[in-house]
Amino acid sequence: MNARQDIPIAVADGVLRERGQREVFCGLTGIVWLHRKIQDAFFLVVGSRTCAHLLQSAAGVMIFAEPRFGTAIIDERDLAGLADANAELDAVVERLLARRPEIRMLFLVGSCPSEVIKLDLSRAAERLNARHHPAVRVLNYSGSGIETTFTQGEDACLAALVPQLPAAPADEAPSLLVVGALPDIVEDQFTRLLQAIGIEAPRFLPARRSGAMPAVGAGTRYLLAQPFLGDTARALEARGAQRIAAPFPFGVEGTTAWLRAAAGAFGIGHDTVERVTATARERATTALARQRRLLEGRRIFFFPDSQLEIPLARFLSRELGMQLVEVGTPYLHRTHLAEELALLPRGTALSEGQDVDRQLDRCLAAQPDLTVCGLGLANPLEAEGLATKWSIELVFSPVHGYEQAADLAALFARPLDRRQRLAA
Ligand code: SF4
């Protein structure tokens, strides 16, 4: 958790902008889902015991397995400049790679402490690459919590990967790259749908193995699966890739629009998408109707946390009939979210950034039926009698696509259902 100096709020373009104390997890949290995705990678956090505790408690069950992440602890001697932190880091990496020969990609992940002592992890990665590449590729990115929110860890990780991707041949036909870590089961579903639509070989970033990362070049058309990948998008465009503008694949409407956008970029018409997706759409719509009975007309308040807030608010209002009291997001990427913003009900109260005390006042005054927030705010709000949903669960769970639409709605319906049962 971190805090910033209180700066007065500003309202511009109908969006309330706030800068003050924030209540969010840091970018290290992304390791919890990224290490499951890239199966031969290891994430070595260069940080303090606090960082190690955060990861261990966020990852929960993984402590029983041989995890693909760990922490090189910076202790008091390092902080006081009494030890050579670079030499210690090199020794930790040597021991790790000797003990875990299956590791093919090593991410050195910066933290607040490594930034405080100005440990240059990009130079460390260069030095370690000289020693271990090609057996192991060493990369680095920052998961520090000083200026970030937790999903930015994935953005920083993928942005670090992009310059390492193979170059696609200059004369290669246009190809589709889906960008954002998705659970394998969701990736398989999207692959089947995209292929049935006529896009032959969709690729995914990140790939499941470090040696299978997709090539990128001027023929690459990329489609974001997550709304928090601004730096990754910039890095892809620097390599010639072009973004396919689309809403995000949450719910039936979002998934269909996302697939249509992909199809359109390859000259495939909407009728093909309608035909290929008809059964899945119908199944998802039926499943959503059950959740709609619990959610329709209920008022929801989003604190800024995961950066998924705007697409989720669109899904909840348009497909489940919820009323949006306030939709907060840590950062509003107007270009990537343009299609989503156009679908929100006119006059939706949007806020960007956070001043947590002011936002808590607004939330308590509004008394929403459901509040989506970080773990740190959930207990105090529950104590005030409000039902809450942890936003971090939305990133850990498979929620994209048709097959998961009802599960996504159920994540919001469950706290309301529980309250109703307790009241009864
Ligand atoms: Fe805390 Fe910073 Fe470590 Fe994150 S990176 S756990 S905010 S010290």
Going by their DSSP bridges, the two strands 242-243 and 220-224 should be labelled as: parallel
Q: 373 a known binding residue?
A: no
Q: Considering only CA atoms, which residue is closest to atom 6 of ligand 1?
A: 51
Contact (Cβ atoms closer than 8 angstroms) between residue 4 and residue 20:
yes
Q: Considering only CA atoms, which residue is closest to atom 7 of ligand 1?
A: 145
Going by their DSSP bridges, the two strands 323-329 and 388-390 should be labelled as: unpaired
Least Cα distance to 213 among 152, 167, 268 occurs for 167
Q: Which residues of 160-185 are buried (b: 16+ CB within 10 A; e: fewer)?
A: bbbeebeebeeeeeebbbbbbbbbee
Q: 112 a known binding residue?
A: yes
Q: How far is the CA of 111 from the centre of ligand 1 (A)?
A: 6
In the block, which residue shows the tokens 């031969």?
Answer: 40
Beta strands in 90-202 (DSSP E): 105-110, 137-142, 175-179
pLDDT exceeds cutoff 60 at 11: no
- Our measurement of the distance from residue 251's CA atom to the centroid of its chain's CA atoms, rounded to an integer in Å, reads 17
For the beta carbon of residue 285, count every other beta carbon within 10 angstroms: 17
Q: How far is the CA of 42 from the centre of ligand 1 (A)?
A: 19
Task: Tell which CATH architecture fits domain 175-273.
Answer: 3-Layer(aba) Sandwich (3.40)
Contact (Cβ atoms closer than 8 angstroms) between residue 23 and residue 4:
no
Q: 169 or 83: which carries more pLDDT confidence?
A: 169
pLDDT (tens digit per residue) in 255-309 = 999 999 999 999 999 999 999 999 999 999 999 999 999 999 999 999 999 999 9
Whole-angstrom CA distances from 256 to 127, 263, 295, 401 are: 46, 10, 22, 9
Q: Do domains 27-148 and 290-423 have the same CATH topology?
A: yes
Atom of ligand 1 nearest to the CA of 143: 5
3-class DSSP state of 117: coil
pLDDT exceeds cutoff 50 at 6: no
Contact (Cβ atoms closer than 8 angstroms) between residue 394 and residue 327:
no
Atom of ligand 1 nearest to the CA of 113: 8
* CA pair distance 203, 182, nearest whole angstrom: 12
pLDDT exceeds cutoff 80 at 79: no
Domain ranges in the chain are 27-148, 175-273, 290-423
Q: Which residues line ligand 1 (CB under 6 A)?
A: 2, 26, 28, 47-48, 50-51, 54, 111-112, 143-145
Mean pLDDT of 236-251: 98
Atom of ligand 1 nearest to the CA of 145: 7
pLDDT (tens digit per residue) in 151-181 = 999 999 999 999 999 999 988 899 999 999 9
3-class DSSP state of 286: helix
Q: How far is the CA of 124 from the centre of ligand 1 (A)?
A: 20
- 65 residue type, one letter: A
Q: How far is the CA of 1 from the centre of ligand 1 (A)?
A: 7
Entry pTM: 0.93
**Rg value, the chain, Cα:** 22
Provide CB contacts within 8 A for 245, sequence distance 6+: 261, 338, 339
According to CATH, the superfamily of the domain at 290-423 is Nitrogenase molybdenum iron protein domain (3.40.50.1980)
Residue 146 region, left (φ>0) first, then alpha (ψ -120 to 50), else beta?
Answer: alpha
Atom of ligand 1 nearest to the CA of 111: 5
Query: Residue 68 — pLDDT band, cuts 50, 70, 90?
Result: confident
Contact (Cβ atoms closer than 8 angstroms) between residue 106 and residue 128:
yes
Task: Tell which CATH architecture fits domain 27-148.
Answer: 3-Layer(aba) Sandwich (3.40)
Going by their DSSP bridges, the two strands 370-373 and 299-302 should be labelled as: parallel
Contact (Cβ atoms closer than 8 angstroms) between residue 352 and residue 18:
yes
